[in-house]
């Protein structure tokens, strides 16, 4: 049944859907919950894996138009007809949804914060604001077949920065907004069951044929044995990085570069900067920092290929490939610094 037909069916059977909403309220009461409190508290905090439930409750209970209801369900990957029919005819489905929301209420007790006063937003709301400048759990699943636990999805659904930050002015690019100059992505600690390091990125995008994106090194890179490439992983959390280096940060010593960062920012790790560059390209088909290097926070350890104490950098991202490099810290017109919003 298409959207047009569904709207017609809704108009014809409006009484049935109103009845379904009342039954839903009653099911919540039977579970020992307060319907109004639950709607207010959790409509914007439902885990990504349950987005279609959130859309159901919002559409049927808060009186949004059926068209908006359908679009919300479809955007979350659900079938509006299935949700309508489930709430209208399947008492177990309705009771299960009620129990789910009541359980959330019991585990998340606390005062209800009006939406207008919230400083943080959901990942779904962040995606609407950021457009293509975001890489979330759904993107990891789509591009790299990453599987998440229910607990991870609950965590991933909480975006740590608010609309005031994303729609606010960029501290580094005058006249631009953060949502235009930054890229948000969900950091993951493992991929294919192994720690997700720079070394693993090289395996995912090797220097073979015409693959894009790709790394310059096919095997035996100079940084083999470096902890920041072979051991370090990201935390499982959201990251928000400047897509390009901080303007005006080239030809400066490392401490001078750090001094340029706004108080809410820090120098990114190598794995975070590498991940950002690859993921930006995957979502936008644009390579960040095509002509400049981005300095990161780590320093090299001595191996048979490199001295100790050099600054880790992510080299220019060109068509021939991306690579991790190092810098001696002297003034260099090619080397600027990255910027990562503090968590």
Select the more confidently predicted residue: 284 or 323: 284
Q: Is the pLDDT of residue 40 over 50?
A: no
pLDDT tens readout for residues 262-281 = 999 999 999 999 999 999 99
Are residues 112 and 127 both part of a single domain? no
Please, what is the average pLDDT of the chain? 79
Cβ neighbours of residue 178 closer than 8 Å, sequence gap 6 or more: 165, 166, 167, 168, 169, 170, 240
Are residues 102 and 141 both part of a single domain? no
Are residues 132 and 161 both part of a single domain? yes
Are residues 17 and 127 both part of a single domain? no
What pLDDT does residue 202 have?
87
Last residue of a domain, one of 61, 86, 118: 118
pLDDT tens readout for residues 201-213 = 988 888 776 777 8
Q: Is the pLDDT of residue 7 over 60?
A: no
Strand partners, 183: 241
Last residue of a domain, one of 118, 150, 182: 118
Instruction: Show the domain range for 86.
Output: 3-118
What's this model's pTM, rounded to 2 decimal places? 0.66
Q: If you average pLDDT over residues 332-340, what whole number do you get?
A: 97
Strand partners, 177: 169
Q: Is the pLDDT of residue 190 over 90?
A: yes
For 242, half-sphere exposure in the C-beta direction (CA atoms, 13 angstrom radius) is 28
Which range, of 55-64, 125-134, 242-251, averages the lowest pLDDT? 55-64
């Amino acid at each position: 049944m298409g959207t047009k037909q569904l709207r017609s069916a809704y108009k014809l059977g409006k009484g049935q859907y109103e009845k379904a909403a009342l039954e839903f309220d009653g099911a919540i009461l039977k579970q020992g919950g307060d319907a109004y409190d639950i709607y207010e508290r959790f409509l914007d905090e439902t885990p990504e894996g349950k987005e279609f439930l959130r859309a159901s409750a919002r559409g049927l209970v808060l009186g949004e138009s059926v068209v908006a209801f359908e679009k919300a369900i479809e955007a979350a990957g659900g079938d509006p007809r299935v949700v309508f029919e489930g709430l209208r005819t399947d008492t177990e489905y309705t009771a299960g949804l009620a129990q789910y929301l009541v359980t959330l209420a019991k585990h998340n007790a606390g005062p209800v914060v009006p939406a207008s006063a919230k400083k943080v937003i959901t990942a779904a709301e962040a995606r609407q604001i950021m457009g293509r400048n975001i890489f979330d759990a759904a993107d990891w699943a789509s591009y790299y077949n990453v599987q998440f636990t229910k607990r991870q999805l609950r965590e991933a659904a909480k975006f740590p920065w608010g609309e005031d930050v994303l729609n606010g002015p960029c501290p580094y690019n005058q006249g631009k907004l953060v949502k235009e100059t930054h890229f948000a992505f969900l950091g993951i600690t493992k991929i294919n069951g192994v720690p997700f390091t720079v070394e693993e990125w090289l395996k995912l995008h090797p220097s073979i044929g015409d693959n894009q994106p790709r790394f310059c090194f096919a095997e035996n890179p100079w940084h083999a044995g470096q902890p920041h490439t072979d051991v370090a992983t990201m935390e499982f959390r959201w990251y928000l990085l400047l897509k390009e280096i901080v303007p005006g940060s080239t030809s400066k010593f490392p401490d001078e570069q750090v001094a340029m960062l706004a108080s809410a920012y820090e120098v990114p790790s190598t794995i975070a900067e590498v991940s950002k560059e690859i993921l930006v390209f995957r979502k936008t088909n644009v390579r960040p920092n095509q002509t400049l290097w981005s300095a990161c926070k780590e320093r090299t350890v001595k191996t048979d290929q490199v001295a100790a104490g050099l600054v880790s950098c992510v080299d220019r991202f060109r068509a021939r490939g991306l690579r991790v490099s190092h810098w001696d810290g002297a003034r260099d017109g090619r080397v600027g610094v990255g910027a990562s919003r503090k968590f």
